Amino acid sequence: MKSYLQMSKEELMECKADLEKAFEDARGKGLKLDMSRGKPAAMQLDLVMPIMDVLNSKSDLTSRDGMDCRNYGGPDGLPEAKELMAAMIDVKPEQVVVCGNSSLNIMYDTVSRSVTHGVCGSTPWCKLPEVKFLCPVPGYDRHFKVTENFGIKMINIPMTPQGPDMDLVEKYVNNDPAVKRIWCVAKYANPQGYNYSDETVRRFAALTPAAEDFRIYWDNAYCVHHLYTDPERQDHILNILDECEKAGHPDLAFEFCSTSKVSFPGAGVAAVASSANNLEWIKKSMHIQTIGHDKINQLRHVRYYKDIDGLLQQMQLHGDMMRSKFEAVEKRLEEALEGLEIGTWTKPNGGYFISFDALPGCAKAIVAKCKEAGVTLTSAGATYPYGIDPEDKNIRFAPSYPTPREMSDATEIFVLCAKLVSVDKLLEGK
């Protein structure tokens, strides 16, 4: 296909006329498709339904250490739940506190504690003139919303296929005491599906922060979310807690995880892992905040999965369902857009998203055009702090929720809208 960038004004006008006719035909179909969030599909949730049969009114609800899970106690989590969550992120059980159903909730609480009470004896952030977070971009919109909610200043850090721009990270962290945190989705990153290289992880562990209370927020949301069973197609990253320990900075990182996209979103199990010092700080306020998390749900998960092997076997089935959707999107993007020079996209081996970069200045218009035709995408700009993409070019695909047929229809609409908006943009300069 001829590049749109090489077309004359007349060729672009002719192309525009054909695209507008196709768009009107598509709009006339009355589609209502949602690709806005990375939600598991109904088929994936159906896989987990047997977990509901694990416990009933006749079940023994006693944990391995003799605790009655129906009653108070065990605020740090059941021992067997700690083992399962630790195995999922490859850390030691003693490094884990098991909480409720949402890792985002743990992250929010960890920020909130820092604001009101300070971190491990340091000055509460509410008493400081300014607090800053580093935000790899494009990134996870909910991280940014949590940060914005507390009035914390966000600083964009460009992402690369190897992870955040570490030269910039080191410059900010090692020299500015107002920089207190960096958000990281190190494995199958949201939205690109990138993985932090060994060098990147080691550079994180070797940071020498100007702020004594600087911490890395390591959101390991997609730790077991491979699309492929072939080990050669599965990405792996170094263990951040191990690397921090080796570098002599054991308190540098908090790692978060959950089974939200393993079992049921909103009814899974979440955990935080860190050093003994950091966990004691969390538990000090957590024991005041709650009388304990849902131990029956923890027990349900442990008895259903039994161990990490059982969990990974189910995740292979999830991967089988997801893989066909991802490959269908990637194939259609290649067929329709390769060579036109109006966009690039990632091809992840896992996670829940594909990241698309349009021509600068086109993302909002493409998303709006798709909505006209009945396809809802994540809002353009959502993958940046304050909802502002400086170049207005990044769009996040969430292929998981639609059926394969819906995914096919949605991708066709997207391709059409990307072409039409790009042609309009190029015509502006003719």
Distances (CA, A) of 389 to 77, 150, 165, 340, 358: 40, 21, 17, 23, 12
Amino acid at 338: E
In a domain, 85, yes or no: yes
In a domain, 106, yes or no: yes
Both 288 and 322 in one domain: the answer is no
pLDDT at res. 29: 86
pLDDT at res. 101: 96
pLDDT at res. 250: 98
Both 264 and 291 in one domain: the answer is yes
Q: Tokens for 238?
A: 């170094």
pLDDT at res. 405: 86
pLDDT at res. 383: 97
pTM (whole model) above 0.85? yes
Both 183 and 258 in one domain: the answer is yes
pLDDT at res. 35: 83
> How many structural domains is the chain composed of?
2
pLDDT at res. 33: 87
pLDDT at res. 22: 95
At 390, which CATH number?
3.90.1150.10
Both 11 and 93 in one domain: the answer is no
Both 295 and 331 in one domain: the answer is no
**255, 288, 306: which is the final residue of a domain?**
306
Which ranges of the chain have pLDDT less than 70? none
Both 143 and 226 in one domain: the answer is yes
From CA 396, how far away is CA 394, in angstroms rounded?
7
CA triplet 271, 277, 282: central angle to 5 degrees? 45
CA triplet 33, 38, 40: central angle to 5 degrees? 90
Distances (CA, A) of 272 to 34, 96, 98, 301, 422: 31, 6, 7, 17, 44
**287, 306, 325: which is the final residue of a domain?**
306
Q: List, for residues 199-240, the tens digit of each pLDDT value.
A: 999 999 999 999 999 999 999 999 999 999 998 899 999 999
List the domain range (segments joined by +) for residue 20: 4-44+312-428
Name the residue among 277, 212, 213 with its Cα closest to residue 241: 277
Residue 163 gets the label, from left (phi > 0), alpha (psi -120 to 50) or beta, of left
Both 213 and 348 in one domain: the answer is no
Burial class, 37, CB count within 10 angstroms (exposed 0-12 / middle 13-18 / buried 19+):
middle
pLDDT at res. 403: 87
Name the residue among 224, 260, 301 with its Cα closest to residue 103: 260
In a domain, 54, yes or no: no
Q: List, for residues 137-181, the tens digit of each pLDDT value.
A: 999 999 999 999 999 999 999 999 999 999 999 999 999 999 999
In a domain, 410, yes or no: yes
Name the residue among 235, 354, 270 with its Cα closest to residue 85: 270
At 161, which CATH number?
3.40.640.10
From CA 52, how far away is CA 394, in angstroms rounded?
40
Both 295 and 269 in one domain: the answer is yes
Do β-strands 132-137 and 354-358 pair in parallel, antiparallel, or remain unpaired?
unpaired
Both 128 and 232 in one domain: the answer is yes
pLDDT at res. 127: 98
In a domain, 359, yes or no: yes
In a domain, 51, yes or no: no
**277, 306, 335: which is the final residue of a domain?**
306
In a domain, 57, yes or no: no
pLDDT at res. 31: 85
Both 266 and 407 in one domain: the answer is no
Both 298 and 335 in one domain: the answer is no
In a domain, 24, yes or no: yes
Both 322 and 186 in one domain: the answer is no
From CA 125, how far away is CA 226, in angstroms rounded?
38
